Chain A
């Protein structure tokens, strides 16, 4: 099972949009629509914000959206707010009850 790659950090000004990428392989991200994204504020518990590549759990603002193209999944945060600062992790499975997380991306609001 391959590792996932994410940018170490992305930043944007309030109101702008930022995109976090998550690149895997044809055997995981490319083959399954089981990509999820987690937001973790410093010192806090991870929170699910996207599942099945594009779906949002109840209560997650529609400013958060997911997509996928080939072996790369992406999380876009629109209308960036101060509270969006934190670490974002992608996660996928290769269909064998084995899960891999990306290394995480620090989102900074300038």
Chain B
């Protein structure tokens, strides 16, 4: 069964950094691209970043470009999101999702909450 489990969320002060992780199981991780999508409390979904199956290409949403970095370790079946220069606007639940056919996101992990607050 395909399973994604995020971790690493927590409370962080504005301007600081945080890394969140997503551990995958139940499928050939090194054959799929992976996304990060976030959802601010009470708000809608926002695509954050995407990484190719082999890590060779990475893409970012405009609101995080230059501050966030997506990476992966296929030997550990894990994708990461390094977040720098965090602001209160980055407060959200961060979901990882597999890039399925035709750029659809399936499945999603349970999410990890990142709260940026002083």
Given A98-B59, A101-B45, A102-B44, A36-B104 contact (CB < 8 Å): yes
Contact, CB under 8 Å: B101 / A52:
yes
Closest chain A CB from B12 CB (angstroms)? 23
Measured CA separation A48–B45 after assembly (Å):
13
Q: Which B residues are in CB contact (< 8 Å) with A104?
A: 44-45
A5-44: which residues lie under 8 A (CB-CB) from chain B? 33-34, 36, 38
Residue B100 lies at the interface, judged by CB distance under 8 Å to chain A: yes
The residues of B that contact A89 with a CB separation of less than 8 Å are 44-45
> How many A-B residue pairs lie within 8 Å, measured between CB atoms?
65
Which A residues touch B50, using CB under 8 A?
97, 99
Check A48–B103 contact: CB distance below 8 A.
Answer: no
Nearest chain-A residue to B48 (Cβ)?
Answer: A99
Whole-angstrom distance between the alpha carbons of A89 and B105 in the complex? 12
Whether B108 is near chain A, meaning CB under 8 Å from some CB there, is: yes
The distance from the CB of B108 to the nearest CB of chain A, in whole angstroms, is: 5
Residue of A nearest to B60 (CB): A98
Which of A36, A48, A99, A101 is close to B44, meaning CB atoms less than 8 Å apart?
A101
Residues of chain A contacted by B111 (CB below 8 angstroms): 45
A52 to B37, CA, bound (A): 19
Q: Which residues of B contact A52 (CB under 8 A)?
A: 101-102, 104
Task: Write out, one digit per residue, whether chain B residues 79-118 have a CB within 8 A of any chain A CB (1) or not (0).
Answer: 0000000000000000100001111111111110000000
Min CB gap A80→B, angstroms? 22
Residue of B nearest to A93 (CB): B103
Judge whether A48 and B104 touch: CB under 8 Å: yes
Chain B residues packing against A (C-beta within 8 Å)? 35, 37, 44-47, 50, 57, 59, 61, 95, 100-111
* New A-B pairs, 15, CB < 8 Å, besides A36-B105, A48-B100: A45-B110, A46-B37, A46-B45, A46-B95, A46-B105, A48-B106, A48-B107, A51-B101, A89-B44, A97-B59, A99-B35, A99-B61, A100-B47, A101-B45, A101-B47
